[in-house]
């Protein structure tokens, strides 16, 4: 597959773009809403497209009366979860073990909602591939948001926080330290 930049941006797209106007309907014709490919078929098409190197999908809120975007959104969430699971499976295989004591997320992917990331980590715990999970390079606001999400969704929280700290400037670290102690995270 060939890729190119969009105009003068850093956005890179596949030269072949998958049109998704028949996902959940035939284009944006209201009388044909619900016709076209169903969600399972759309997911199969998207999987095949990614396998061929296609990274760009043309969709609109009018396609299939909004079903096209919903189907693609659902597929993206499942795809991202599968990618995490593949990475964990690869790590387990390389290490020759069946379970990680701790999985540490080093960088947040701002394109993926935090709720989805935390849910995925919890699924990895339930599958017994990961005993606990943690995070590094995260600020207090993000930690507080993660606590709120985990409490609202009844998910386990980060058990480990790994951020750089300086004994020369403890004032900046004071809130982070107190937050970690009050939430029983290991530093």
Mean pLDDT for back-to-back runs of 10 residues, the chain (187 residues): 86 88 73 77 91 88 84 84 83 89 76 83 89 82 89 89 67 56 50
Sign for the CA dihedral angle at 12, 14, 15, 16 comes to negative
Identify whether residues 1 and 93 lie together within a single domain: yes
Domain boundary among 97, 114, 148: 97
**Are residues 105 and 68 located together in one domain of the fold?**
no
Q: Cα dihedral sign for 57, 60, 63, 69?
A: positive
- Domain end (from 77, 97, 117): 97
What letter does residue 23 receive in the DSSP assignment?
A: B
Last residue of a domain, one of 66, 97, 128: 97
Do 174 and 110 share a structural domain? Answer: yes
pLDDT recorded at residue 143: 86
- 72 and 21, same domain (yes or no): yes
- Confidence (pLDDT) at 177: 53
**104/177 same-domain check:** yes
Do residues 20 and 62 share a domain? Answer: yes
- pLDDT tens digits, 99-140: 888 887 876 667 678 888 888 889 889 989 888 888 887 878
> Domain span at residue 56?
1-97
Tell me which residue has tokens 């890179």.
12
* Structure confidence at residue 79 (pLDDT): 80
104 shares a domain with 75: no
- Angle value at C-alpha 160, between 132 and 131, nearest 5 degrees: 10
Q: Give residue 27's pLDDT.
A: 61
Q: How far apart are CA 184 and CA 8, in angstroms?
A: 47
Give all strands (DSSP E) within 64-118, no chain letters.
100-105
In this structure, are 2 and 89 located in the same domain? Answer: yes
Strand 18-19 versus strand 57-58 pairing type: parallel
Residues 124 and 42 placed together within one structural domain of the fold: no
Counting the structural domains of the chain, the total is: 2
């Amino acid at each position: 597959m060939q890729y190119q930049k969009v105009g003068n941006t850093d956005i890179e797209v596949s030269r072949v773009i998958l049109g998704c106007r028949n996902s959940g309907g035939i284009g944006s014709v209201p009388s044909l809403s619900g016709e076209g490919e169903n969600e399972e078929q759309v997911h199969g098409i998207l999987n095949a497209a990614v396998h061929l190197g296609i990274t760009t999908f043309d969709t609109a809120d009018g396609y299939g009366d909004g079903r096209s975007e919903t189907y693609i959104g659902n597929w993206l969430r499942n795809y991202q979860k599968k990618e995490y699971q593949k990475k964990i499976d690869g790590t387990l295989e390389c290490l020759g073990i069946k379970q990680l004591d701790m999985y540490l997320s080093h960088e947040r992917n701002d394109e993926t909602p935090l709720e989805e990331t935390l849910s995925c980590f919890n699924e990895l715990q339930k599958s017994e591939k990961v005993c606990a999970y943690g995070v590094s390079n995260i600020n207090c606001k993000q930690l507080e948001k993660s606590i709120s999400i985990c409490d609202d969704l009844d998910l386990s929280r980060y058990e480990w926080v790994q951020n750089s700290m300086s004994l020369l400037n403890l004032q900046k670290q004071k809130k982070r330290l107190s937050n970690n102690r009050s939430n029983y995270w290991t530093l």
